[in-house]
Amino acid sequence: MSARCLLALLDTFGVEKAHFVGNSMGGMITLRVSQIAADRIDKMILMGSGGAPIPPSEDLMQLITFYQDPSPAAMADLLTRFVDDTDLFAGKLEEIARTRLALATRDDVRR
């Protein structure tokens, strides 16, 4: 969805000004809305927004390239990169990684 499509949707529903909460691509779209129609935004909260003028972090690159070599070790690595308190795994990191890998590598998910 583009920022212009989002604005058109708001127009359709008669919403003149809104709060925006955007994560990742949603944050990127919200940033674009703020550039082209700042008056339509009351408040915005963004997390992990794309489009910043900085290169992707090493953690994000690991996520982006995960499917180049999906393995239990790669999944465990991702889990430790994106979880603040790895003690929450309670010693079950490898088991959790195997379970998540099985889900992430299903054909319908991978597509």
Question: H or E element: which one contains 5?
Answer: helix 3-12
> Residue range 21-34: average pLDDT?
89
pTM: 0.57
Same domain, 21 and 63: no
> Residue range 17-28: average pLDDT?
90
| Residue 76 within a domain | yes
Domain count, the chain: 2
SS3 assignment, position 111: coil
| Residue 52 within a domain | no
Q: Is 24 left (phi over 0), alpha (psi -120 to 50) or beta?
A: left
Same domain, 27 and 70: no
16: containing domain: 3-47
Same domain, 71 and 36: no
| Residue 102 within a domain | yes
Last residue of a domain, one of 12, 27, 47: 47
Lowest mean pLDDT among 15-19, 42-46, 51-55, 97-101: 51-55
pLDDT at residue 24 greater than cutoff 70 = yes
